[in-house]
């Protein structure tokens, strides 16, 4: 009986969090699934239309463009942005002084208001802005950072890498702090250099974090749209229109909530499947 009472008290303490979790997460998900099968009209009432929304979504000519842009965006974020926090955290961990100040500096872009950051990047990417002025010092031709189809997505990835690497850096630093100091002291006594300590102690010590942050980055970048909306508006010529941005347009520009819900359900299924596969691979790598 005492054990049952202990479980009861634990459940009672968890109930507020469970209620909030269900109310603000699972209820919208359930309503989105329901809306995906309906012609949503909040004035005269919604009507059930079956799979019509899904057929319209899959036959939309812009869908393939937004899907490809999203995949391209995710790949660029992995190739460019995924490794930056790891490298910066390892560099900070090797500092003998000013580690606290460096942690603050790398996290500052993460806490600056988004409106300020977007305004700053529009100024930097202006054809006559600082980025092109710096390139001109080296004899390079100016880039149309946000209006050239071949440069727009890369420009967004560079901006988001600078804005968001601080949070992941602190996670890596927390993992590095958890590595026993005795290993570093023993390595120094044996004459190991900086690169050897990083290769044989630091990187193996935070190896478990790489897969976790890789999964989180894939999920977050697959839903990216804010920077695209602020800097390019999905242009030029749909070059930066992501899948999530298309959902936003369907819901709040075209006011087609049923079609937007269908797109959201498809994204939910893809991300859930991807997370399961990556989680399975992470488990296999730990066993190995």
pLDDT tens by residue, the chain, 288 residues: 666 677 787 788 888 888 998 888 888 889 999 999 999 888 888 899 989 999 999 998 889 999 999 999 999 999 988 889 999 998 888 887 888 888 888 888 888 888 888 999 999 999 888 999 988 888 888 889 999 998 999 999 999 999 888 888 988 998 888 888 888 888 888 887 888 888 888 888 888 888 888 888 888 898 889 999 999 999 888 999 999 999 999 999 888 999 999 999 999 898 888 878 877 776 666 665
In whole angstroms, give the CA distance from residue 75 to residue 34.
Answer: 32
Going from the C-alpha of 226 to that of each of 35, 54, 220, the distances in angstroms are: 24, 25, 12
pLDDT score, position 13: 83
Dist. CA 173–CA 261, nearest whole Å: 39
Using left for φ > 0, alpha for ψ between -120 and 50, and beta otherwise, residue 113 falls in beta
Whether 51 contacts 37, CB under 8 Å: yes
CB atoms within 10 A of CB 163: 19
Q: What pTM did the predictor assign?
A: 0.85
CATH architecture of 66-286: Orthogonal Bundle (1.10)
Give yes or no for a contact between 33 and 54, defined as CB atoms under 8 angstroms apart.
no
Q: What is the pLDDT of residue 286?
A: 60
């Amino acid at each position: 009986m005492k054990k049952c009472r202990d479980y009861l008290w634990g459940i009672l303490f968890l109930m507020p969090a469970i209620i909030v979790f269900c109310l603000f997460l699972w209820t919208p998900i359930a309503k989105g699934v329901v809306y995906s099968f309906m012609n949503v009209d909040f004035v005269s009432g919604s009507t059930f239309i079956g799979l019509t929304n899904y057929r319209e979504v899959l036959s939309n000519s812009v869908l393939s463009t937004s899907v490809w842009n999203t995949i391209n965006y995710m790949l660029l974020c992995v190739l460019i942005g995924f490794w930056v926090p790891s490298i910066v955290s390892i560099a900070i961990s090797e500092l003998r002084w000013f580690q606290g100040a460096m942690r603050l500096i790398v996290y500052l872009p993460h806490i600056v208001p988004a409106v300020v950051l977007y305004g700053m990047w529009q100024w930097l990417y202006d054809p006559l802005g600082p980025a092109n002025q710096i390139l001109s010092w080296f004899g390079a031709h100016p880039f149309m950072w946000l209006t050239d189809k071949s440069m727009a997505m890369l420009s967004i990835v560079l901006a988001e890498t600078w804005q968001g690497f601080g949070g992941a850096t602190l996670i890596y630093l927390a993992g590095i702090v958890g590595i026993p100091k005795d290993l570093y002291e023993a390595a120094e006594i044996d004459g190991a250099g900086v690169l050897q300590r990083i290769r044989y102690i630091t990187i193996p010590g935070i190896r478990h974090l790489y897969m976790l942050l890789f999964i989180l980055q894939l999920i977050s970048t697959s839903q990216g749209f804010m920077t695209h909306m602020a800097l390019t508006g999905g242009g030029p010529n749909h070059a930066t229109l992501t899948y999530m941005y298309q959902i936003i347009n369907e819901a709040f520009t075209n006011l087609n909530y049923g079609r937007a819900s269908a797109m959201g359900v498809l994204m939910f299924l893809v991300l859930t499947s991807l997370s399961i596969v990556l989680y399975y691979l992470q488990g296999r790598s730990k066993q190995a």
